[in-house]
Amino acid sequence: MVFHKGVLLDDPAGLLAGSGRYVREIRAGVALDHPDEVRALIRSAIDHQTDLLDQGGDASGH
């Protein structure tokens, strides 16, 4: 599982891996073992991605 702006996410469980400028990832096995923490990271990622959404509609621009 890859998070485009993963570097911005709070990760108290330390699940995110990677050393790139923005991208962080969680390996599948780790994600399966920590569903609640992954769910929290996904919610946080959505909050940080609002710059990619058209404020007047859905993600497709409608």
Of all residues in the chain, what percent carry a pLDDT higher than 70? 81
φ and ψ at 25, to 5 degrees?
-135, 160
Report pLDDT for 25: 97
47 secondary structure, DSSP code: H
Average pLDDT over residues 23-44: 96
Q: Is the pLDDT of residue 50 over 60?
A: yes
> Which residues, other chains included, contact 29 with Cβ-Cβ below 8 Å and sequence gap of 6+?
none
Domains in the chain: boundaries: 2-52
Q: At 32, is the pLDDT very low, low, confident or very high (cuts 50, 70, 90)?
A: very high
Residue 53 amino acid letter? L
Rounded distance, CA 26 to CA 53, Å? 24
